[in-house]
Structure 1
Amino acid sequence: MIDALDLFCLNFFLLCGVASVETEIRLSVMEGDSLTLRTGLTELQRDDEVEWRFGTSRISTITAGNITNDDETFKDRLQLEEQTGDITVTNVSHEHSGVYQLSIIIRNKKSNKRFTVTVFAHLPIPVIFSDSSKCSSSPERSSRILLCSVLNVSAVSLSWYKGNGVLSSISVSDFSVSLSLPLEVENQNKNTYSCVVNNPIRNQTTHLDISQLCHACSDCNLCFDSAEAVVRLIITAVVGVAAVTAVVLLANDIRTVVKEQTIKP
């Protein structure tokens, strides 16, 4: 939103006859939210003109009291407030990131505004895995590797926290990638850890209590998290079903052979 100082400066330049003044504003919004871009004016007069552009395309105008929406990129998402000239884009998506240009002409005096808008995708919840294959076999220091992962993210940071302190962090810029960040902890550690993914607007956190993991790593083959346990149970069930099926088929074959031998003279 424009503050009182920006509004004062805009009206001052307009009333004092300066040919043109330009203001630049940077905004960030989450995908699916609404974005409102404000002219800073309280009321337009009939002879005032307002023009909004997105990139090089004209998207909305007010001329002589007539309102026109021109750009198909926004379809039914674009709303223009007739009294002030403000525009609102509802349910924004990544394609609405970019530069919006505003031109206002009041009593033949022109002012410009430039809005640089960044639309961020919703953040996934970080998933923590326990890599039991890397458990330390040393009886003096039984430890394991935890792996925190997020999929298909861009312009985010992924961090491990111990309490309120950052232990490690990794960042990615504009490309959609999957991130993973390892952390080695001791099984007897009583601290609470958390994995956080964040962008400039929001964050998602997964908390971890070491005591919730298996307490000993003397036999790493017995240490696995719930996701791995489910996979192992599924594999065991499939193998069991296959074994039972094989036994049934073998029994049927034996019965068939015995029956044929009995029938022979």
Structure 2
Amino acid sequence: MEGDSVTLHNGRTYLNDDWIQWWFINKDNLIAEINIPESRFSEYDDGRFRDRLKLDYRTGSLTITNITTQHTGEYELEYNTWSRPSFYLNVYTRLPVPVISGNSSNCSSSSSSSSSYCSLLCSVVNVGDVTLSWYKGNSLLSSISVSDLSISLSLPLEVEYQDKNSYSCVINNPIRNQTTHLDITQLCHTCSDLVKL
């Protein structure tokens, strides 16, 4: 998640007479290196990292602190010219809390005086690579997913005012989720309540 720290390990517990180079995205973007024979220990800022890189001079592992989505991508390790494992880092934005709004509707003369339906909408803004879902208890009712960045999502649901089941709206990505529970009494009103209003 954005704001976290991540460490890319090279599998070594200590370095001898070695050199290690860390590359981001491509071969023109060297971001850190250790060259023990030449006594060179360096982190390079290409504009993306802004003092976020920290090399472990004992093992050669690389830590990126306070990560953002611009650090998503492939990282390549060169170890003594022959070992070149790659790491793909995917950074997710912080999840907002879903907002549930609603209006009562379908109050007609043909309806019984005690019946009323509420149209609900669960919404989130400025999200990417997430799924937004409605749940009735633990059962999934509906969901919508998006892979784009910085988009707004909304998902409708209609419930009856007298419904005593628990409903919740959940936004999640592969790492975390945020949940808002529905309070029917706050968002939905009976037909008689609407007449009084």
Q: TM-score, normalised by structure 1?
A: 0.67
1:214 shift after superposition? 4.5
The higher relative CO (CA closer than 8 Å, separation ≥ 6) is in: 2
Residue type matched to 2:12 in 1?
L
Q: 1:220 to 1:211 in 2, by over 3 A?
A: closer
Q: 1:176 to 1:213 in 2, by over 3 A?
A: closer
Give the Cα–Cα distance (whole angstroms) in 2 for the partners of residues 96 and 195 of structure 1.
Answer: 30
Residue type matched to 1:34 in 2?
S
The answer to whether the Cα contact below 8 Å between 2:103 and 2:188 also exists between their aligned partners in 1 is no
The residue aligned with 2:161 is: 187
The residue aligned with 1:32 is: 3
Give the Cα–Cα distance (whole angstroms) in 1 for the partners of residues 103 and 189 of structure 2.
Answer: 14
Give the Cα–Cα distance (whole angstroms) in 2 for the partners of residues 144 and 175 of structure 1.
Answer: 31
Q: Which moved more, 1:66-75 or 1:182-191?
A: 66-75
Q: Deviations over 1:14-52 (max 9, x none)?
A: xxxxxxxxxxxxxxxx0011011001100000x211110
Q: 1:222 to 1:169 in 2, by over 3 A?
A: farther
Q: What is the SS of the residue equivalent to 1:178?
A: strand
The residue aligned with 1:120 is: 92
Q: Are positions 1:164 and 2:134 aligned together?
A: no
Q: What is the SS of the residue equivalent to 1:76?
A: coil
The answer to whether the Cα contact below 8 Å between 1:38 and 1:86 also exists between their aligned partners in 2 is yes
Structure 1 stretches lacking a partner, 5+ long: 1-29, 224-265
Structure 2 counterparts to residues 246-265 of structure 1, below 5 A: none
Give the Cα–Cα distance (whole angstroms) in 2 for the partners of residues 32 and 116 of structure 1.
Answer: 18
Give the Cα–Cα distance (whole angstroms) in 2 for the partners of residues 54 and 62 of structure 1.
Answer: 16
Q: Which moved more, 1:211-220 or 1:65-74?
A: 211-220
**What root-mean-square deviation, in Å, do the aligned CA atoms of Structure 1 and Structure 2 show?**
1.7
Give the Cα–Cα distance (whole angstroms) in 2 for the partners of residues 52 and 217 of structure 1.
Answer: 66
Q: What is the SS of the residue equivalent to 2:185?
A: helix
State the structure with more CA Rg.
Answer: 1
Give the Cα–Cα distance (whole angstroms) in 1 for the partners of residues 49 and 7 of structure 2.
Answer: 13
Q: 1:87 to 1:212 in 2, by over 3 A?
A: same
The residue aligned with 2:30 is: 58
The residue aligned with 1:79 is: 54
The answer to whether the Cα contact below 8 Å between 2:118 and 2:158 also exists between their aligned partners in 1 is yes
The residue aligned with 1:90 is: 65
The answer to whether the Cα contact below 8 Å between 1:188 and 1:215 also exists between their aligned partners in 2 is no
1:113 shift after superposition? 1.1
Q: What is the SS of the residue equivalent to 1:100?
A: strand
1:195 shift after superposition? 0.2
Structure 2 stretches lacking a partner, 5+ long: none
Q: TM-score, normalised by structure 2?
A: 0.89
User: Whose helix proportion is higher, 1 or 2?
Assistant: 1
Give the Cα–Cα distance (whole angstroms) in 1 for the partners of residues 173 and 4 of structure 2.
Answer: 15
Identity among equivalent pairs (%) = 54
The residue aligned with 1:26 is: none
Residue-pair matches, total: 188
Q: 1:220 to 1:179 in 2, by over 3 A?
A: farther
Q: Are positions 1:103 and 2:78 aligned together?
A: yes
> Which of 173, 193, 213 pairs up with 2:147?
173
Residue type matched to 1:61 in 2?
E
